[in-house]
Structure 1
Amino acid sequence: MYERILVAVDGGDSADLAMSQAIGMARVCQAAIKLLYVVDDSELFDAAGTTDTAKALSQLVRGGERALDLAAERCSHADVTCIKELVERPLGRGNISETIVERANSWPADLIVMGTHGHRGLRRAIMGSVSEGVLAQTNKPVLLIRAPASTQPPHLAGKSNDRY
């Protein structure tokens, strides 16, 4: 059914659960997985002038590489073929969803799998939703895996802006 599954990785609990589902589907379908990490550069522009943006970007890239390596290790243990891709700059400032859709189209993926934090109300209106953006912009099937509301990616611990 699916031959190419793109998995959006962000290092958080919902992405971890999404990885579990993607690996299971890949094993059943004998599909390949593409692990995709898109660096969220939106805070770099807000911090310009007050912080070393090159250093901050480097830290974000290292965090993405770690998330991709851990996800690839899980694929390897499950005997699932995978490739990794890290995108340092989204297509537009902070535009993670458009970048995910573009990478899914160019690969080309049969399915997009990603975690979601399931925020509602004012918090979602202020922060936006990467998963909602992907759903709105793609014609591919999307599998969203929701994590418990109290979890967030390690690189966002203590911050109020979950990515997906």
Structure 2
Amino acid sequence: MYERILVSIDGSNPSNRAIDEAVKLVGLSHGRIRLVSVVPSLANVYAAGAYSGFVPVESEGTFEQETNEILARAQADLKQRGIEAETKLISLDSGTHEIADVVLHEAQDWGADVIVLGTHGRRGVTRLLLGSVAETLLRITTVPLLLVKAGDT
């Protein structure tokens, strides 16, 4: 049974659905949840922005603050449901790793029994150029992975 459930979140609808699925798992196993969120380096964000035509003006400090807020909101939501959850913010060094790599490394270090991750369903050129965290994690993982579709919008 999945007793150590790592959920990678980014504040999006798909990641909120991933939290909901983790709640179902923890209800069955009475296990633990660790919420993780990755702060990309500014260099990576600007590179992605160049491909998409959008270049953000935020600073790295702003990304960290937003990520901490995402983790805090998710932790508070789980607490309201009667579930205690750990949180961890992970900073991604410029150009050294992909988000999928650091999520897998965190899952391995923590001893996760399963990783739960929402999918964003990017298509076309954007997916080709930017890749997909879920797709990359699916290819490299050594830990069971539950992918949660974004759902209808």
Structure 1 residue 94, shift from structure 2 partner: 6.0
- 2:34 counterpart residue number: 34
Instruction: Give me the whole-angstrom Cα distance separating, in 1, the residues matched to 2:95 and 2:34.
Output: 22
More deviation, 130-139/1-10: 130-139
Structure 1 residue 91, shift from structure 2 partner: 8.1
TM-score scaled to structure 1, two decimals?
Answer: 0.80
TM-aligned CA distance change 1:90 to 1:111, over 3 Å: farther
Instruction: Give me the whole-angstrom Cα distance separating, in 2, the residues matched to 1:14 and 1:126.
Output: 21
The two structures, once aligned, show a CA RMSD in angstroms of 2.3
SS at match of 1:104: helix
SS at match of 2:7: strand
1:117 aligns with 2:117: no
> Paired residues, what number?
145
TM-score scaled to structure 2, two decimals?
Answer: 0.85
TM-aligned CA distance change 1:91 to 1:31, over 3 Å: farther
- 2:79 counterpart residue number: 76
Give the alignment of 1:37-56 within 5 angstroms.
37-41=37-41, 42-44=44-46, 56=59
The aligned amino acid for 1:78 is: R
Give the alignment of 1:96-111 within 5 angstroms.
96-111=99-114
Structure 1 residue 121, shift from structure 2 partner: 3.0
Conserved? CA contact 1:27–1:80, under 8 Å: no
- 2:64 counterpart residue number: 61
Structure 1 residue 109, shift from structure 2 partner: 0.4
- 1:136 counterpart residue number: 139
Instruction: Give me the whole-angstrom Cα distance separating, in 1, the residues matched to 2:114 and 2:60.
Output: 29
Segments of 4+ in structure 1 off by > 6 A? none
- Give structure 2 stretches of 5+ with no counterpart: 50-54
Structure 1 residue 93, shift from structure 2 partner: 4.3
The aligned amino acid for 1:122 is: V
1:89 to 89, 92, 99: 92
